[in-house]
Structure 1
């Protein structure tokens, strides 16, 4: 909850995707495929943000190679997952 409240949208998106990847992700070719159908609108709803703002952030992350997206699927670079979720996390 602290991550969602205190950080900018980019950081909040990365934290959410890292959390979902840790719980539901399958590592493939250096990316964690989140094994849930996930639209920009659903991400926005989870973060209390607009779909438009989330789409801008997701586009920037995709251009940087941090995420890969396709219709209702999101993959997060495994290196980002490791940076955002501590190894001993129980969340």
Structure 2
């Protein structure tokens, strides 16, 4: 069982959460000016790197609020939890 730390509710079972994709993907300033290829790249193309990866999560079976997390894609360990809209924290320090 994987425990995810909700910033509002505390540690909870992973089954209470919903993965929302890569964090920090900026919405295009003028989406109507994009070509079909550029729009498709915005919608569907995301990084898929091994190691620390910034993601969005929702506590869908709890407070229903969204937050960002840095998770190691190889070990599934969460190294940081932080609010939506905040910059990605340095994850070299203490594991949370």
TM-score for the superposition, normalised by structure 2: 0.22
Structure with more helix by fraction: 1
| TM-score, with structure 1 as normaliser | 0.23
The answer to which structure, 1 or 2, has the higher relative contact order (CA under 8 A, 6+ apart) is: 1
Question: Which structure is higher in strand share?
Answer: 2
